[in-house]
Amino acid sequence: MNTKLGYIEDRSNGVTKEKLHPISRWIRSRKSTYAFSFIDKEIPLSIIEEIVTNGLWAPTHKMTQPWRFEILMGAHHKDLGQYMLDFYKKHLSKKQFPESRYQDTLEYPKNATMLAIVFQRSKNVDIPEWEEIAAISCAVQNMWLTSTARGIGCYWDTAEATIQYCNESLELAPNEKSLGILYMGYPKEELKERSRKRKLLSKKLNHNYKKICNLFF
């Protein structure tokens, strides 16, 4: 390792392929860790604030900063579990949602730090909504990467039940709507890093060269 620059070697399959900057390591290590994999260990407020602050530094067109976040505490853990149970019993068949899943659903949020993600549509700047949602997605990625670097697991839950719970439980202004919950927590020690793949770079990156015309004779 080059400690001065902080670079690391990528030794995939035991072969040194290239030298990667640490940010590449965190990006490639980021993954979804579901709340049932969290242990009963509280994330210090200082770290939560660090995570959210890094989210605020996401790119945002015309600096609309179309986000705000709420830490759901206290009875929210129990109430969300009950809300999800009632929702899935109502909207899913017994085959899709068997009784064997009821208790796990009730207890799903219990060890998680839950960060509600709220979309604040700008009242003063008229830009396409997709750009605002893209900015929020960048903010979530910043928070997710910070959590990964801190050894904290994450999952962005955008299920209909979760969004409806937030819409009903938060005091949302007319220009606001829920974009779900970011679950955060310390994963179980035995949680192993899964083998994950992405399509080859050659399948996703093209070199589009346009010939430069010579206008001078």
Per residue in 113-128, is it b (16+ CB within 10 Å) or e — as a string?
A: bbbbbbbbbbeeeeee
Element (H, E) at 118: strand 113-120
Reported as a single tens digit per residue, the pLDDT across 137-192 is: 999 999 999 999 999 999 999 999 999 999 999 999 999 999 999 999 999 975 56
The verdict on 58 and 86 lying in the same domain is: yes
Tell me which residue range forms the domain holding 105.
Answer: 32-189
Reported as a single tens digit per residue, the pLDDT across 4-28 is: 445 555 555 444 556 888 888 889 8
Domain presence at residue 185: yes
Q: What predicted TM-score, i.e. pTM, was given to this entire model?
A: 0.85
Domain presence at residue 37: yes
**Mean pLDDT for the stretch of residues 110-122:** 96
Distance (Å, whole) CA 33 – CA 23: 20
Q: 3-class DSSP state for residue 39?
A: coil
* Confidence class for position 198, pLDDT limits 50, 70, 90: confident
> Is residue 29 predicted with pLDDT exceeding 60?
yes
Domain count, the chain: 2
Domain presence at residue 206: no
The verdict on 180 and 143 lying in the same domain is: yes
Distance (Å, whole) CA 113 – CA 181: 10
The verdict on 160 and 58 lying in the same domain is: yes
CB atoms within 10 A of CB 147: 25
The verdict on 38 and 83 lying in the same domain is: yes
The verdict on 47 and 103 lying in the same domain is: yes
- CATH number of the domain encompassing residue 181: 3.40.109.10
The verdict on 76 and 134 lying in the same domain is: yes
Q: 3-class DSSP state for residue 156?
A: strand
